[in-house]
Structure 1
Amino acid sequence: MMRHLALLSLLGAAVAVSGCENIREQFDMSKSAPDEFRVVSRAPLTLPPNFALRPPDPGAARPQEGTARDQARRTVFRIEEGSGPSVAEVMPDDGRSESERTLLVRAGVPESEPNIRQIVNAETRSINEASDSLINDLVFWRKDEPPGVVVDAGAESRRLREAQALGEAVTGAGAPTIERREKGLLEGIF
């Protein structure tokens, strides 16, 4: 009897402990997925095409970049290796100084579209009209009911007073009626 009781208590303790997360981890019974933030991809190892090529010295200037001043000059003034047409050929004298015309030519003003603002506005307008109709269809999906007959307040008041004076029902002939249209099958849901 004692042996059965010990076996049952041992079995109960095993069942109770198997639900604990810490016990599962200690006995390596739980699954552990890799941390996706620690996984890094590495470039494949390749050999350079020239085996005599030596790696650059740390901190040495790179020959293809030049100095910072040369980089800035090439970026700002769009200096190319070849020489193009002169400033006088591209932009005739229009009262500006030679330096102003040179700056405008190097900035690309002669090749620019003169009415770009109108083109951009027209394209934006066409895109907005197309999306606007879809938005209106989604927001205002219910169609407005057609307007009913407008009741003249003065005439209706006279009619009611005459009907009361004669002792007739006010809902008799000439009384305005409200005619409601039939609702659709799913109309009351939304």
Structure 2
Amino acid sequence: MTGKTNMVMRISTTQRSGTTGRRRGRMVATCAMAIGAALGLSACGSSLSESLGYGKESPDEFAIVTKAPLVIPPDYSLRPPRPGAPSPRETSPHAVAQQALLGSSIGAGNADSRTAGEQTLLANAGAIGADSSIRELIDDETRALKHKDEKFLDDVLFWQKPQEPNRVVNAGAEAQRIRENQAQGRPVTEGETPDRDDSEGGGLIDYLFN
């Protein structure tokens, strides 16, 4: 019995040592893989944070802004500058956008340079006979709709008609009119009664004593 017990204990000890060895081997392999990955990232010429996308990189201004290509002048004499005139090599933003969207060369937007497919597409879309003043027409219609909406809103909120301002009779001008009518033998009711314009008055004193 004692021999069998010793043999079982030896087998258990051997199994435990084998399991511990396998665990240590896995840990060593994991550490080695992590160290190798870190060394691989650092060997690319950038830090680990930049490789993971945490670093900030400013855009290259020369890769964004496009300049017209340089040309060789016909001679070495300096040309007189023209103040305010655009550069002959600079193209308009409209032409650049047309080239980027349509893929055609700048300045080749006439009907002769269009392909059969482009002409068919423009004809089906109704763009060949398009009105050149369509923007002004849309602006006028938008302003008319906006004015109509404002009038409808005013009618809903302020449904009562605005009262006319009280008329203040100009006493001096009215007396002068009556005297002229009496002197000419006309009725005193003939003629228009003059109103007082407070904007031309002398203030509170003239209002009290007139």
Give TM-score scaled by structure 1 length: 0.26
Q: Going by fraction, where is helix more abundant, 1 or 2?
A: 2
Give TM-score scaled by structure 2 length: 0.24
